[in-house]
Amino acid sequence: MRARSLVTVLVVVLAMASSALAQQLTDGGIYRWNNGNWMPMEGFGARISVGPDGAPWIVNAKNEIYRWTNGRFNKTPGTALDIGVGGDGRAWIIGTDNTVYRWNGNDWDRVEGSGVAISVDPSGRPWVINASTEIYQWNGDRFIPRSGRALDIAAGSDVWIIGTDNQVYRLNGSQWMRMEGTGERIAAGANGSAWVVNRGNEIFQWTNGGFQRQPGTAMDVAANTGGQVWIIGTGQGAPGRLRRQRNP
């Protein structure tokens, strides 16, 4: 009887986690970190990632995909739930069919594997969280399972996750080390640092061995190893109110 109860609890927990991962996307203003402040940029989005050149890619609430080129957001083909850009500049997405795709310069090539959240490391290899909160890493040919479970993942010079308990963890060898703090979304930044958005939409940066509160509120955050950081603000609660422009 106890074993059945434990199984039931596990199923409920995993179902709750999968439901949280599948939440409806909502648009917010786009901001770039500039000397300790958030600078409002053109357009709106729901998910964001930033390449090695500091240029972001976004997914909006309609699941449309845009990339920053020539000083503005330009629409690309396809639709997505989440997006990640690696150190080689190539973008990967989780499509609206939950399949993984890789940008070929003109369109998206389907890759074996599925997920709900994605991040791409400096070598250009993606890490994926699937609907069962399992973690997979691309080995150059296929996705291989890694230990642990997560709601979101950030692959930089260090790999960070938001665990299913909403605690922040960092990969140490083959094990996940629990760190200070909780979150909903996470991005890997310069020098092994991380940026986190928590359940209250507060923004934190890992620095000097701990998470330090930064100004503003956000729904998503993106960073690269060069120290460039962008966020999706929380609409009216975003850092600096931004009059609505055209949706990118």
Model pLDDT for residues 211-226, shown as the tens digit of each residue: 999 999 999 999 999 9
Report d(CA 19, CA 198) in Å as an integer. Answer: 17
Q: Which of 227, 226, 230, 67 is nearest to 216 (CA)?
A: 230
Percent of the chain scoring above 70 in pLDDT = 85
91 pLDDT band, cuts 50/70/90, is: very high
**Does the pLDDT of residue 205 top 90, yes or no?**
yes
Helix or strand holding residue 139 (H, E): none
For 151-187, how does the pLDDT look when each residue is reduced to its tens digit (9 = 90+)? 999 999 999 999 999 999 999 999 999 998 999 999 9
- Provide the pLDDT for residue 24: 74
* Torsion angles phi and psi, residue 13, rounded to 5: -60, -45
Q: Mind listing the domains of the chain with CATH numbers?
A: 2-237 (2.120.10.30)
DSSP state of 211: E
For 2-24, how does the pLDDT look when each residue is reduced to its tens digit (9 = 90+)? 444 433 333 434 444 444 444 57
**Does the pLDDT of residue 66 top 90, yes or no?**
yes
Helix or strand holding residue 19 (H, E): helix 2-21
Handedness of CA 217, 178, 85, 206 (dihedral sign): positive
Residue 73 one-letter amino acid: F
pTM of the model: 0.86
**Does the pLDDT of residue 69 top 80, yes or no?**
yes
Two structure tokens written together for 226: 């060069």
- Provide the pLDDT for residue 248: 35
- Provide the pLDDT for residue 236: 42
